[in-house]
Each structure stands twice: as structure tokens, then as C-alpha cells.
Amino acid sequence: MTLTAWALLASRVNPGAAAAARATNICTALAFASSVGSPLACELGPHGIRLVIVRSAGSPDTPAVQQVAKLHAGVTGISLDEYRAGMSSGTLLQRLPMLAEVANAATLLASDRASAMTAAIANVTCGAFIDL
């Protein structure tokens, strides 16, 4: 198994007008990671080191996302369940990826089963971002 370099890029999906601003932030971060990642992958590849960026939409079962959801629900004056439903409604699968799903994807990408992958961005967002 070759050494694999990793970057984890996470974002959250939010309903309402603020979603566009947050989408711009994650797009900027992804553009930066891509611009740094591609040359880095080119430099490290000949040494057997792969680079894959794991892009997540934020996992609702993590304490940080739960805390932010509570804060945003309170500020917007809706229930926590309504806010969570809004977070999921913006994805193609109508849900957000759980932490275990992101970890499973990262494990697969780090394994020999993905040994041909490098200089790539793995989309683990349940369709919150579309790469096609």
C-alpha cells in the first residue's frame, strides 16, 4: 500500500439566503484546495504518494454541526427539526452524509482498492454539490 496524503474539506448546507454566501465560501475553499492540491499531487505522485480531497457537506451527527444547527434554528425562529429538514432538502438524496459514511469513503480512498486515484476530489455530499 502506498502512502496517501489527505485533505478533508467540509461545509454545511443551510436553507435561505445565507446558503448562497456559504456556497461561495466552500467554492472558494475548494478552488484553493484544488489549486494547491494539483501541483502537490504532481510533485508527490512520482514518489508513490497519492492525494485525494474528501469533500463533505457536513455530518449532522457531529457535535459541531448539531451546535450550529441549534444556534441557527434559534436565530431564524424555527424548530430544530424544521432546520434539520431544511439542511437536508438542498441535497439530491434529501439527507446529509453521516460521519461514518464520510469515514467509509475516506477508508476506501486510502485503500489499495483506490490505488489508481490521485489528484482527485471525492464528493461525499449526498448531492449537495454536483460535479458532473
What's the CATH number where 85 sits?
3.40.50.720
Structural domain for 91, as ranges: 4-124
Of 49, 53, 40, the closest CA to residue 2 belongs to 49
Q: What are the pLDDT digits (tens) for 32-69?
A: 777 788 888 999 999 999 999 899 988 999 998 999 99
Residue 16 to residue 13: CA distance in whole angstroms:
10
Helix 63-76 to helix 80-89 angle (10° resolution) is 110
In a domain, 52, yes or no: yes
Q: How many domains does the chain have?
A: 1
6 vs 115 pLDDT, higher one: 115
Distances (CA, A) of 2 to 40, 47, 131: 16, 9, 27
Lowest mean pLDDT among 11-15, 39-43, 81-85, 126-130: 11-15
Sheet holding 120-124: strands in order across?
A: 4-10, 50-56, 120-124
In a domain, 129, yes or no: no
Question: What pLDDT is recorded for position 25?
Answer: 63
In a domain, 132, yes or no: no
Name the pTM for this structure.
0.76
Is 26's pLDDT higher than 90?
Answer: no
